[in-house]
A and B are shown apart, each in its own frame.
Chain A
Amino acid sequence: MELLVSQIINGLTNTAVLFLAASGLVIIFGLLDVVNMAHGEFIMLGAYSACVSINQFHFPFIIAVLTAAVFTGIIGAITEKFIIRRLYGRVAETLLATFALSYIFQQTIRSIFGPEDQLMALPINAALNMGNIVIPIYNLLLIVVSILILAGTMLMLTKTKFGMQIRANVQNRTMVQCLGVDSQKIDNITFTYGSMLAGIAGALIAPIKSVTPDMGLSYIVDSFLVVVLGGLNSIFGSFLGSFVISESSTVMAGYMSEITAKLLIFIIIIIIIRFKPQGLFFAKDKR
Chain B
Amino acid sequence: MSKLKNITVDKYIALAIFIMLLIIPFVSSLYSVQIFGKFITYIILALGLDILWGEAGLMNLGFAIFFGIGSYIFGISMAIQKGLPAFMSFGGITELPWFFAPLQNPASAIILSVAVPIIIALLLGYFIFKSQIKGVFYNIITLAFVALFELFIVNQQTYTGGASGINGIATGVMTLRLFGSKITIIDWYYIAFISLIFIYLFCLWLHKIRFGQIIHAIRDNEPRVQFLSYDPAVFKTVTFAISAAVAGYAGMLYVPIASFVSIDSSGVMFSTMVIIWLAVGGRGNFTGAMVGALLVNFLQNTLSGIFGGMWQIILGICLLLIVMLMPKGLIGSLVEWQYMRRVHGSEKKETKITNREAEV
A residues at B contact (CB < 8 Å): 29, 35, 83, 86-87, 90-93, 95-97, 99-101, 103-104, 107-108, 110-111, 217-218, 220-221, 224-225, 227-228, 232, 257, 259-260, 262-263, 266, 270-271, 273-275, 277, 286-287
Q: A218-B147, A270-B124, A270-B128 are in contact. Are A93 and B137 (CB under 8 A)?
A: no
A76 to chain B, nearest CB (A): 16
Give Cα A277–Cα B131 distance, bound, in whole angstroms: 6
Q: Which of B59, B132, B134, B320 contacts A101 (CB 8 A)?
A: B320
Q: When chains A and B are docked, how far (Å) is the Cα of A86 from the Cα of B320? A: 12
- Contact (Cβ within 8 A) A221 B133: no
Is B155 within 8 A of A257, CB to CB?
Answer: yes
Q: Which residues of A contact B315 (CB under 8 A)?
A: 103
A115 to chain B minimum Cβ distance, whole angstroms, is 10
Q: Total A-B residue pairs with C-beta atoms closer than 8 Å?
A: 115
- Segment with Cβ contacts to A, from B164-172, B253-261, B305-313: B305-313
- 0/1 interface trace, chain B 311-340, chain A, CB 8 Å (1 if under): 011011101100110010000000000000
16 pairs of residues in contact across A and B, judged by CB atoms under 8 Å? A29-B136, A91-B135, A95-B59, A97-B324, A99-B61, A100-B320, A103-B312, A104-B317, A111-B309, A217-B147, A228-B141, A270-B127, A271-B127, A274-B130, A286-B134, A286-B137
Query: Pick the contact of A270 from B141, B268, B309, B324 — CB < 8 Å?
Result: B141
Contact residues in B for A29 (Cβ distance below 8 Å): 136
- Please give the number of chain B residues whose Cβ is less than 8 angstroms from any Cβ of chain A in the complex: 41
Residues of B near any A CB (own CB < 8 A):
59, 61, 124, 127-128, 130-137, 139-141, 143-145, 147-148, 151-152, 155, 268, 272, 275-276, 279, 309-310, 312-313, 315-317, 319-320, 323-324, 327
> Which residue of the partner chain, among B141, B275, B320, contacts A83 with CB atoms under 8 Å?
B320
CB–CB A95/B131 < 8 A? no
Which residue of B127, B139, B324 contacts A86 across the interface (Cβ within 8 Å)? Answer: B324
Q: How far is the CA of A218 from the CA of B133 in the complex (A)?
A: 22
What's the dominant secondary structure at chain B's contact region?
helix
Q: Determine whether the beta carbon of A96 is less than 8 Å from that of B132.
A: no
Q: Do A91 and B310 have beta carbons less than 8 Å apart?
A: no
* B272 lies within 8 A of A35 (CB): no
Nearest-Cβ distance from residue A223 to partner chain B, whole angstroms = 9
The verdict on A273 contacting B309 (CB below 8 Å), with A218-B147, A259-B151, A263-B148 known, is: no
**CA–CA, A283 and B86, complex, Å:** 49
The 8 closest A-B pairs by CB, nearest first: A104-B316, A103-B316, A100-B320, A100-B319, A107-B312, A111-B309, A221-B147, A224-B140
Contact of B132 among A35, A100, A286 (CB under 8 A): A286
Expressed in whole angstroms, the Cα–Cα distance for A83 and B61 within the complex equals: 20
**A96 touches which of B133, B134, B313, B319 (Cβ 8 Å):** B319
List of A residues within 8 angstroms of B61 by Cβ: 95, 99
Assess whether B310 is in contact with A111, with CB atoms less than 8 Å apart: yes
Indicate if the CB atoms of A107 and B313 lie closer than 8 Å: yes
